A = this chain, B = another copy of it.
Amino acid sequence: MSGWSKARDARGERMSAAASLAKGKIVEAADATALLERLIRPGDRVCLEGDNQKQADFLARALIKVDRQKVHDLHVVQSGLVLPEHLELFESGIARKLDFSYSGPQGAALARALDKGRIELGAIHTYIELFARYYMDLTPNVALIVARQADRDGNLYTGPNTEDTPTIVEATAFKDGIVVAQVNEIVDKLPRVDIQGDQVDFVIQSPTSFYVEPLFTRDPASVTETQILMAMMAIKGIYAEYGVRRLNHGIGFATAAIELLLPTYGESLGLKGRVGTHWALNPHPTLIPAIESGWVEQIHCFGSEVGMDDYMRARPDIYFTGKDGSLRSNRMMCQNAGLYACDMFIGGTLQIDLDGNSSTVTPGRIAGFGGAPNMGADPHGRRHATDAWLKAGREASDGEQTLVRGRKLVVQMVETFGDKMAPAFVDELDSIALARKLDLELAPVMIYGDDVTHIVTEEGIANLLLCRGRAEREQAIRGVAGYTEAGRGRDRKAVEALRQRGVIRRPEDLGVDPLDATRGLLAAHSINDLVDWSGGLYRPPSKFRNW
């Protein structure tokens, strides 16, 4: 039988080699690097848990210190490549190949490392695309994961940041891989079990608590009147028109503005209970006023957010929580909810070309995709109807179809000029030049134009569902591209005709007066206002405290 159990045999050998370092499943922090040297072999696929938020930072530092004669040429398969240590693994030759989803703060370092040939890039995935490959052809041999607490049987408590952990552990543990967890503390009894000890081989108490980045906190004080105008148009021209109840928001300020306008502007339009009731969303503090005003029925979260724990604990009807009272997040489940159970994805981008393709790549930075391409795509496998979905499908229909079909709303919000007056509308995405330079198989495109249904700028809304043919789409995009070169290149007659047909709608066509777009409309004007809305339950991290 050994011919069919190579992985199990290899696991057995490694576990034996490591046994002397462990008492039961517990290994001392000082022995972490020695443990990894005994468990990991050259060429292994390793997931060094780096999620969107929480990081196995102690294990990352332990891995950097391994003897490179023993451990090298690893294939890193993890969603987030966000710590400097993650890049260091490649610089030092411990790792060679990379499949990932999101690099955030390491985007520039990653692009440099690719350019220098230090990293053999597999692909830049969406989150659940990478998770899917854990069960197909990228199963980790070793998973180095992170949790808050462990008991002596290896059961783990992740607290609110469960995130990717169950998905990583299941793939690894059930394919004879090895699972090592860093935890903040080892306790006798866990508040709840997020990962069963059955699937965990070793536990190490790290000297310091694991790192979590607040990623989803947007200070209302920074929301601009342009963003408020765009948010008003989106609410009136999209949320209300389609009756969008189930949705996901991106992380930008324009969607934060929408969240802050629901209980004010949205309320004045009579939309409460008719839009924004069910969400696949991280715990955005800017949604607190809408929740407190009774707009929201339920939210499932990819991960957590620093400072939101007590608030969520006090709102179990809204959030998914455990018996310990704290949030249970799960990126795999939430991304699936975003894919198949949401009627709309709305988010920002940095560049859009004249076909509607969008990208967040800027020269010299590869930020990765995260979840946007997954949620910002029309799932052809969807087979349940809602009014919003059917209306979008009718608009997209060319009249030839004999079958009723719906469409997901995929909305891109963008100011025509971004930071340093860089135009958002371009002839060619910067990501194409980058792909050429780095010899990537695919240019990093966030959302392809054929999935985008609406583009919202300060100049108006372009409804691409109503466009027939490529030329019309191009004019619809130019028609909201403002004073960018793309906007100035519009065919004025064609754009006027599109406006007559309602394909392009200006603020005045929507009955939105730009003079009304003032900060006074926001339900909260500061982080402190959000704290007040929460009854003091929201505890913003210090960098957001300025009172």
Residues of A within 8 A of B (CB): 1, 4-8, 99, 122-126, 128-129, 131-133, 135-137, 139, 155, 167, 170-171, 173-176, 192-193, 196-199, 245-246, 278, 280, 297-298, 300, 314-318, 320-323, 328, 330, 332-334, 336-337, 339-342, 355, 357, 369, 373-385, 390, 400, 402-406, 428, 432, 441-445, 448, 450-451, 470
Contact B381 A339 (CB under 8 A): yes
Number of copies: 2
Collect the chain B residues with CB atoms within 8 Å of residue A405's CB: 442, 448
Collect the chain B residues with CB atoms within 8 Å of residue A133's CB: 337, 340-341, 384
> Can you spell out 28 A-B residue pairs with CB atoms less than 8 angstroms apart?
A4-B316, A8-B316, A8-B317, A123-B384, A124-B383, A126-B340, A129-B382, A132-B333, A132-B339, A133-B341, A133-B384, A135-B320, A136-B246, A136-B342, A137-B341, A170-B330, A175-B320, A198-B323, A374-B381, A376-B381, A377-B381, A379-B379, A390-B441, A400-B470, A402-B428, A403-B448, A404-B441, A406-B442
| Bound form: Cα–Cα A316–B125 in Å | 28
Which of A132, A328, A428 has the most C-beta atoms of chain B within 10 angstroms of its own C-beta?
Answer: A132
Contact B132 A340 (CB under 8 A): yes
Collect the chain B residues with CB atoms within 8 Å of residue A173's CB: 322
Collect the chain B residues with CB atoms within 8 Å of residue A384's CB: 99, 122-125, 129, 133, 442
Contact B129 A314 (CB under 8 A): no
Which 10 interchain pairs have the tightest Cβ spacing? A123-B384, A136-B341, A377-B380, A132-B340, A374-B381, A174-B328, A132-B341, A377-B381, A135-B337, A129-B340
| Bound form: Cα–Cα A196–B381 in Å | 31
Collect the chain B residues with CB atoms within 8 Å of residue A245's CB: 137
Collect the chain B residues with CB atoms within 8 Å of residue A322's CB: 173-174, 198
Shortest beta-carbon distance from A205 to chain B in Å: 22
Shortest beta-carbon distance from A240 to chain B in Å: 19
| Bound form: Cα–Cα A280–B145 in Å | 25
Which of A5, A317, A332, A384 has the most C-beta atoms of chain B within 10 angstroms of its own C-beta?
Answer: A384
Collect the chain B residues with CB atoms within 8 Å of residue A297's CB: 137
| Bound form: Cα–Cα A381–B335 in Å | 11
Contact A404 B470 (CB under 8 A): no
Closest to A124 in B: B383
| Bound form: Cα–Cα A317–B175 in Å | 8
| Bound form: Cα–Cα A448–B378 in Å | 13
| Bound form: Cα–Cα A124–B135 in Å | 26
| Bound form: Cα–Cα A167–B136 in Å | 19
Collect the chain B residues with CB atoms within 8 Å of residue A333's CB: 131-132, 135, 167, 170-171, 332
